[in-house]
């Protein structure tokens, strides 16, 4: 058993991949929790695809790709907000049209600018190519993001559940929204290298909604989601190594399996525990008769 666990660690690429997977497995669910409780999980998918044009342009002009990706990720959120504020279009429709448009623009620019990017690698990731530099950069962004979330936790909590109330008491809701969108965008960018543009949303949303089925408090969702994200990354990487599976999809499938188990077996919301909860509720409401 010990050899089974240690054998993959004898390779540097596996050590780097596991380290990056653990870090992103913590960061993605913590940030994704805010999307889940605001019922805006689709926004993560929108931003993940919206960064493609920025990557293509940055690569063409030889500038830092992180900057290009971040600029277009934030631009997509601004476009969604503008459409929502200037029309009767609902938020889900605004996100859908932005998603399709930015993704189409990205694919077009990748072709026209003859980018060196492999589109399949961008979409599905290549965690096995992660270098030590990538790991350190991911760790740096994760530490900064988590520290900021801890520092402004109360403000973000108030803003997340009652934006109108937060604005009424004088909180800078526009800056809070900008910071939250920036954190989501950066998380998606660093996660893209690991599981790809499409599957990074799985790590951001999957563990968060799984935790939502298991606990009630926001900080508990973050903690449980981070634990589930780490489990999914590690199990997915070992499955990829021993079963010769693509790493990104393997991690995403583990995320779904964990969600499925919570959906079925959650003590408070599980499908299979529903009858037990009903029986317990009936017994607890029956009058007590003293013999």
> For 10-44, how does the pLDDT look when each residue is reduced to its tens digit (9 = 90+)?
888 888 889 988 999 999 999 999 988 888 878 88
CB atoms within 10 A of CB 122: 22
Q: Average pLDDT, whole number, for the chain?
A: 85
pLDDT, tens digit, 9 for 90 and up, residues 128-166? 778 888 888 889 989 999 999 999 999 888 888 888 888
Give Cα 106 distance to the centre of its chain: 21
Which residues have CB under 8 Å from 235's CB, separation 6+? 254
Q: What is the pLDDT of residues 257-289, one digit of tens each?
A: 999 999 998 888 888 887 776 666 666 665 555
Question: CA-to-CA distance for 59 and 151, rounded, in angstroms?
Answer: 35
202-216 pLDDT, tens per residue?
888 999 999 999 998
Distance CA(283)–CA(110), nearest Å, equals: 63
Place of tokens 């290009």: 68
- Unique residue bearing structure tokens 């964990």: 258
CA–CA distance from 19 to each of 22, 134, 135, 249, 253 (Å)? 5, 10, 7, 18, 19
Interval 54-69: pLDDT, tens: 888 888 888 887 888 8
The pTM is what? 0.83
Q: Are 148 and 178 in contact (CB under 8 A)?
A: no
Q: What pLDDT is recorded for position 220?
A: 92
Look at residue 123 in the predicted model and tell me its pLDDT.
66
The domains found in the chain, sorted by start residue, are 2-284 (1.10.3470.10)
Dist. CA 78–CA 173, nearest whole Å:
15
């Amino acid at each position: 058993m010990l050899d089974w666990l240690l054998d993959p660690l004898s390779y540097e690429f596996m050590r780097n991949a596991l380290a990056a997977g653990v870090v992103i497995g913590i960061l993605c669910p913590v940030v994704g929790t805010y999307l889940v409780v605001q019922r805006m999980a689709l926004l993560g998918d929108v931003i993940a695809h919206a960064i493609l044009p920025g990557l293509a342009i940055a690569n063409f002009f030889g500038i830092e790709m992180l900057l290009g990706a971040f600029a277009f990720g934030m631009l997509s959120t601004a476009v969604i907000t503008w459409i929502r504020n200037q029309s009767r279009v609902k938020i889900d429709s605004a996100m859908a049209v932005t998603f399709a448009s930015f993704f189409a623009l990205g694919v077009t620019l990748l072709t026209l600018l003859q980018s060196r990017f492999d589109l399949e690698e961008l979409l599905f990731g290549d965690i096995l190519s992660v270098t030590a530099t990538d790991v350190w950069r991911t760790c740096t962004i994760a530490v900064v993001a988590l520290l900021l979330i801890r520092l402004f936790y109360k403000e973000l909590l108030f803003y997340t559940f009652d934006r109108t109330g937060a604005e009424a008491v004088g909180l800078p809701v526009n800056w809070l929204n900008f910071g939250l969108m920036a954190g989501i965008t950066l998380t998606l960018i660093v996660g893209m290298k690991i599981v790809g543009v499409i599957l990074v949303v799985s790590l951001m949303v999957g563990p968060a909604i799984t935790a939502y089925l298991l606990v009630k408090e926001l900080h508990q969702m973050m903690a449980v989601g981070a634990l589930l994200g780490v489990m999914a990354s590690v199990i997915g990487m070992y499955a990829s190594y021993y079963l010769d599976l693509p790493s990104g999809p393997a991690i995403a499938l583990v995320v779904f399996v964990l969600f499925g188990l919570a959906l079925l077996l959650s003590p408070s919301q599980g499908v299979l525990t529903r009858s037990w909860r009903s029986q317990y509720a009936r017994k607890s409401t029956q009058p007590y008769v003293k013999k």
